[in-house]
């Protein structure tokens, strides 16, 4: 307790420093007065008595320091003194301090924003019980254009089978994909958009969640199809839409054509299982009547939690055995001539259990690697900023060499000098962190808005918590050490005699600054190289011909409660065609660039089954006119055309089809395919003939990245779900609500899921590339600006240090070009070395970016040369002011001043 009281007393004295100093001064003056009075009584004169008293008393300042060490915390006191002195130094050099703080603010802000995004998408665990024991099932597949290496979506029948297989080993949960749906709440006339997620009834129980109001879903709610139209609101939806009204329990809402009763509100913080998507409503999976009995409708994810004592491998083993058994059974439906490569690929797929503690979703799948790449770019920019500030700090400590030498001469320790410089560096880092946090608070939401198209926004939780605060503190400490440690150690190693005489080795500091400059140039080249690749990729994709016209085209996603003949859909299309402002209407199973794919085998007469499988798409007559796809030869579909169908081996139904140019080139060597027949396979040894009645221009099918694929367009058959493609004469967005009302009026039984523009679909395919191009270009500009400041600082320091030498040379007849060359030659060498290292590093790391490039190679001469040219131009601009300053030195004035 005595030690604690002593510590608290010293701490209190530290915060009442002025009062303590005043009392200490008064106490020492009182002691001196008593000694002086004693000497006067001994017969000395007042002046002599005061002198003798001072001699006997000793050094007042030394005694004060001794008393301070006893009464306050000396280390904290020294630290406070260094903070005051460091602040004065920053104010003494406002331009250099402002440049350093701004450099650090941009880099730290970018790093903080990147961490907030990575944390929200990839790192933040779900607020559930034991998230580390959650896994989701995935099928490992061959690499696709998207770069994904697994598929994590299953149909409900598969979930039902697998759940029974592992019932004794794990709790199986069904987690639907979050979708936005039209919802009418209360007596509202216009629907609003709510995000719905189908889940199995045991999800909340297994997650260990408790309701904020009412109750959560239970297994009993998920037993019978369509029997329990109940819903649980998320806490966020309850707050934003219902203002936390406790009377919400028992209310109903209509989503699509079904009414649901609200039975509870989920716990605060739980917004679903997909980062980037916030579920508003949770509904039992059995209420999804369309999917629960349909194989191949991949609308769900399969989550498991192994029971105590059971490992994930023990859960996976029976599932993998079931998959192999299913695949071997399905082989019996394959045609006997199916290529061996296709069979091997079909049998080689494997199941995996992947950690689900941080959730899983489309955003993670699509942006995991891009976010890691952007984080790497941010780290490079941070290094460039730190090297830049380190050079400025080195130059500043070099200018203060005599001051530091004097401190050493009067007894300052080496660690004290290190602390002095590190405190100044910490002040810069703290100021940069504060401004960087402000920048990150604006930048993170901005980047989030760039992850999707405006009609399909990403909703990330970017709340500032202890994780962000801890990251900010750790980053400030790291930055302080990165740019402050080297100058601090250099300052502590100063030799007092050499520094005071001015005979120290100036080349040692210059070598350090040059080495830092070379590293800065190398990092900058890396950032510029990556930015060039991403910007070129975005430009190539943006300018890629689509083969159709996306402007003024609406895509209306419609569905019926049961299968409808194609004539029913065509009647609705004919009605829409009469709407003012509509130019043409057609039907399609799904729109182009929707990421959907349907492949199948074909066989040309007299040949084996083709190894390459073409794409198929069912469309109606007028599709090519609506889409703006040119007809090369033949005709469009007309009434009576049917797709090839099979009822029995002996009853093949011939059909009609239209192929694209690539189909003709691949299967007919470019010859006209119109009038020829091919066999289309749908099961083992069962095929139906198809006559090619037309050939059309190539058009992008699934996405913008893949090359044009052989494509077969088939006449549309009976369907429960289709898309209306509407070409408008004016603003398509303004016509969307009119078309929605017309469809509901003519066919009230049809449900409209979404209405979007074809342009939005195109933009959606460019979102990732636009994000990478925009942010990498921003980082490249920041890196160039930092490199310019660093080059200027090093050259300016070089001119200052060589001012006397330059004056002597000019007095002896040296010309301006020689003087400028002498100042910049060494820097030019460092730039060349840094550029070479940066180019080598860029080429080595380019292989990690190949999956994100399109028609661009890292080894293209332009990709390698452009960063060097850009940096050279910036270097020339940065070198101009110091070079002009060196050329304008007056020899006589310089020698006179020295």
Q: Tell me how far the alpha carbon of residue 549 is from its chain's centroid.
A: 31
The residue with greater pLDDT, 15 or 228, is: 228
**Residue 598: pLDDT over 50:** yes
Please tell me the distance from the alpha carbon of residue 650 to that of residue 173, in angstroms, as a whole number. Answer: 44
Tokens of 134: 């959650």
3-state secondary structure of 490: helix
Helix residue ranges per DSSP H, 755-815: 758-801, 803-811
Please tell me the distance from the alpha carbon of residue 398 to that of residue 796, in angstroms, as a whole number. Answer: 13
List the single range of 201-210, 711-720, 763-772 with lowest mean pLDDT: 763-772
Helix (H) or strand (E) holding 179: strand 179-185
Query: Residues 654, 669: contact at Cβ < 8 Å?
Result: no
Longest dimension (CA), the chain: 141
Three-state SS sequence of 640-680: CCCCCEECCCCCEECEEEEEEHHHHHHHHCCCCCCCCEEEE
User: What's the confidence (pLDDT) of residue 61?
Assistant: 59
How would DSSP label each residue in 860-896?
-HHHHHHHHHHHHHHHHHHHHHHHHHHHT--HHHHHH
Query: Residues 570, 650: contact at Cβ < 8 Å?
Result: no
User: What's the confidence (pLDDT) of residue 407?
Assistant: 61
The conformation of residue 219, written as its DSSP 8-state character, comes to G
User: What's the confidence (pLDDT) of residue 500?
Assistant: 47
Query: Residues 362, 274: contact at Cβ < 8 Å?
Result: yes
Report for 676-690, 860-874, 875-889: range of highest mean pLDDT: 860-874
3-state secondary structure of 827: helix
Rounded mean pLDDT of the chain?
A: 81
Please tell me the distance from the alpha carbon of residue 116 to that of residue 97, in angstroms, as a whole number. Answer: 28
pLDDT in tens, 413-430: 566 677 777 787 788 888
CA 804, 806, 812, 813 dihedral sign is: negative
Please tell me the distance from the alpha carbon of residue 85 to that of residue 426, in angstroms, as a whole number. Answer: 13
User: What's the confidence (pLDDT) of residue 580?
Assistant: 93
pLDDT in tens, 661-685: 999 999 999 899 999 999 888 655 5
* pLDDT average, residue stretch 244-260: 88
Cross-strand partners of 195: 180
User: What's the confidence (pLDDT) of residue 634?
Assistant: 94
**Burial of 374 from C-beta contacts in 10 A (0-12 / 13-18 / 19+):** buried
CA nearest 199: which of 126, 258, 274?
Answer: 274
Half-sphere exposure of 240 (CA within 13 A, CB side): 11
CA nearest 423: which of 81, 73, 15?
Answer: 81
pLDDT in tens, 752-796: 888 889 998 888 888 888 888 988 888 888 888 888 887 777 777
List the single range of 53-62, 443-452, 596-605, 657-666 with lowest mean pLDDT: 53-62
User: What's the confidence (pLDDT) of residue 48?
Assistant: 78
* Phi and psi, residue 610, nearest 5°: -70, 135
The distance in angstroms from the start CA to the end CA of the chain is 62
3-state secondary structure of 329: helix
User: What's the confidence (pLDDT) of residue 499?
Assistant: 47
Half-sphere exposure of 154 (CA within 13 A, CB side): 22
CA nearest 353: which of 380, 323, 331?
Answer: 323
User: What's the confidence (pLDDT) of residue 283?
Assistant: 94
* pLDDT average, residue stretch 735-760: 88
**Residue 11: pLDDT over 60:** no
Question: Given pLDDT bands bounded at 50, 70 and 90, which one contains residue 844?
Answer: confident
User: What's the confidence (pLDDT) of residue 184?
Assistant: 84
* Sequence-distant (≥ 6) Cβ neighbours of residue 420 within 8 angstroms: 82, 85, 86, 488, 491
**Residue 503: pLDDT over 60:** no
**Residue 4: pLDDT over 70:** no
Please tell me the distance from the alpha carbon of residue 460 to that of residue 277, in angstroms, as a whole number. Answer: 7
CA nearest 121: which of 456, 407, 359?
Answer: 359
Query: Residues 262, 250: contact at Cβ < 8 Å?
Result: yes
Characterise 296 by phi-psi region: left (phi > 0), alpha (psi -120 to 50), beta (else).
left
Q: Tell me how far the alpha carbon of residue 873 is from its chain's centroid.
A: 31
CA 585, 299, 561, 656 dihedral sign is: positive
Query: Residues 402, 476: contact at Cβ < 8 Å?
Result: no
3-state secondary structure of 27: helix
Radius of gyration of the chain (CA): 37
User: What's the confidence (pLDDT) of residue 38?
Assistant: 78
By DSSP bridging, strand 230-233 and strand 179-185 are unpaired
pLDDT in tens, 147-177: 446 788 888 888 989 999 999 999 999 998 8
Cα–Cα–Cα angle for 325, 331, 332, rounded to 5 degrees = 110
Query: Residues 410, 85: contact at Cβ < 8 Å?
Result: no
**Burial of 154 from C-beta contacts in 10 A (0-12 / 13-18 / 19+):** buried
* Sequence-distant (≥ 6) Cβ neighbours of residue 110 within 8 angstroms: 378, 381, 382, 436, 439, 440, 443, 779, 782
Cross-strand partners of 304: 135, 172
Residue with tokens 């002498």: 822
User: What's the confidence (pLDDT) of residue 148?
Assistant: 47
Cα–Cα–Cα angle for 521, 525, 529, rounded to 5 degrees = 175
């Amino acid at each position: 307790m005595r030690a604690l009281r002593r510590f608290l007393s010293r701490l209190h004295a530290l915060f009442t420093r002025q009062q303590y100093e005043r009392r200490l001064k008064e106490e020492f003056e009182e002691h001196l007065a008593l000694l002086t009075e004693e000497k006067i009584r001994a017969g000395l004169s007042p002046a002599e008595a005061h002198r003798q008293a001072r001699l006997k008393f000793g050094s007042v300042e030394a005694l004060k320091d001794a008393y301070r060490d006893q009464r306050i915390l000396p280390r904290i006191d020294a630290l406070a003194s260094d903070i005051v002195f460091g602040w004065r130094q920053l104010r003494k050099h406002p331009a250099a301090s402002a440049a350093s703080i701004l450099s650090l603010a941009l880099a730290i802000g970018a790093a903080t924003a990147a961490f907030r995004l990575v944390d929200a998408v990839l790192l933040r665990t779900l607020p559930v019980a034991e998230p580390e024991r959650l896994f989701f099932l995935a099928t490992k597949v061959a690499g696709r254009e998207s770069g994904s290496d697994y598929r994590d979506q299953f149909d409900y029948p598969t979930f039902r089978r697998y759940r029974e297989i592992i019932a004794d080993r794990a709790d199986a949960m069904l987690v639907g994909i979050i979708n936005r749906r039209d919802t009418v709440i209360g007596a509202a006339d216009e629907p609003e958009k709510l995000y719905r997620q189908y889940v199995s009834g045991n999800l909340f129980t297994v997650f260990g969640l408790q309701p904020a109001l009412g109750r959560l879903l239970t297994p009993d709610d998920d037993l019978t199809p369509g029997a329990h139209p109940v819903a649980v609101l998320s806490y966020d939806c309850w707050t934003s839409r219902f203002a936390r009204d406790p009377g919400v329990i028992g209310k109903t809402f209509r989503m699509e054509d079904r009414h649901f009763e609200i039975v509870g509100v989920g716990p605060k913080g739980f917004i679903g299982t997909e980062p980037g998507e916030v579920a508003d409503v949770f509904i039992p999976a059995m209420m999804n009547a369309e999917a629960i009995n349909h194989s191949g409708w991949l609308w769900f994810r399969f989550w498991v939690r192994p029971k105590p004592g059971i490992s994930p491998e023990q859960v996976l083993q029976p599932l993998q055995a079931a998959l192999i058994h299913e695949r071997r059974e399905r082989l019996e439906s394959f045609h006997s001539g199916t290529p061996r490569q296709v069979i091997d690929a079909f049998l080689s797929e494997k199941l995996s259990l992947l950690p689900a503690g941080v959730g899983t979703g489309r955003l993670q799948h699509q942006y995991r690697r891009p976010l890691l790449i952007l984080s790497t770019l941010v780290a490079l920019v941070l290094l460039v900023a730190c090297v830049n500030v380190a050079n400025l700090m080195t130059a500043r400590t070099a200018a203060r060499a005599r001051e530091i030498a004097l401190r050493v001469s009067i007894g300052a320790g080496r660690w004290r000098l290190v602390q002095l410089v590190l405190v100044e560096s910490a002040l810069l880092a703290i100021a940069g962190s504060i401004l960087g946090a402000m920048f990150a608070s604006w930048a993170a939401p901005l980047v989030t808005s760039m992850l999707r198209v405006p009609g399909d926004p990403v909703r990330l939780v970017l709340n500032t918590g202890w994780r962000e605060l801890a990251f900010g503190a750790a980053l400030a400490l790291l930055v302080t050490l990165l740019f402050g440690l080297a100058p601090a150690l250099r300052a502590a190693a100063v030799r007092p005699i050499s520094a005071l005489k001015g005979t120290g080795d100036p080349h040692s500091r210059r070598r350090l600054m040059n080495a830092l400059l070379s590293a800065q140039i190398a990092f900058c080249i890396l950032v510029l190289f990556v930015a060039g690749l991403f910007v070129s990729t975005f430009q190539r994709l943006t300018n890629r011909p689509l083969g159709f016209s996306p402007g003024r085209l609406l895509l209306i996603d419609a569905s019926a409660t049961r299968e409808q003949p194609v004539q029913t859909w065509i009647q609705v299309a004919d009605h829409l065609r009469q709407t003012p402002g509509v130019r043409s209407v057609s039907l399609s199973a799904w729109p182009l660039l929707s990421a959907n794919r349907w492949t199948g085998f074909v066989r040309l007469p007299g040949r084996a089954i083709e190894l390459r499988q073409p794409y198929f798409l069912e469309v109606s007559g007028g599709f090519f006119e609506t889409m703006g796809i040119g007809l090369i030869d033949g005709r469009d579909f007309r009434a009576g055309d049917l797709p090839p169908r099979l009822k029995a081996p002996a009853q093949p139904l011939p059909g009609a089809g239209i192929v694209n140019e690539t189909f003709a080139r691949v299967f007919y060597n470019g010859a006209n395919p119109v009038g020829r027949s091919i066999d289309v396979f749908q099961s083992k040894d069962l095929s139906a003939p198809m006559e090619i009645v037309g050939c059309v221009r190539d058009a992008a099918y699934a996405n913008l990245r893949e090359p044009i694929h052989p494509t077969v367009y088939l006449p549309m058959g009976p369907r429960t779900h289709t898309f209306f493609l509407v070409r408008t004469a004016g603003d398509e967005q303004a016509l969307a609500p009119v078309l929605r009302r017309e469809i509901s009026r003519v066919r009230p039984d049809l449900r409209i899921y979404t209405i979007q523009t074809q342009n939005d679909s195109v933009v959606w395919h460019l979102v990732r590339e636009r994000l990478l191009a925009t942010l990498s270009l921003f980082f490249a500009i920041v890196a160039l600006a930092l490199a310019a400041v660093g080059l200027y600082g090093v050259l300016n320091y070089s001119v200052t240090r060589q001012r006397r030498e330059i004056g002597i040379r000019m007095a002896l007849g040296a010309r301006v070009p020689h003087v400028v060359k002498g100042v910049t030659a060494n820097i030019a060498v460092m730039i060349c070395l840094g550029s070479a290292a940066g180019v080598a590093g860029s080429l080595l790391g380019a292989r990690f970016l190949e999956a994100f490039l399109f028609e661009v190679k890292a080894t293209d001469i332009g990709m390698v040369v452009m960063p060097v040219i850009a940096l050279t131009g910036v270097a020339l601009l940065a070198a101009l002011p110091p070079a002009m300053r060196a050329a304008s030195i007056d020899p006589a004035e310089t020698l006179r001043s020295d």
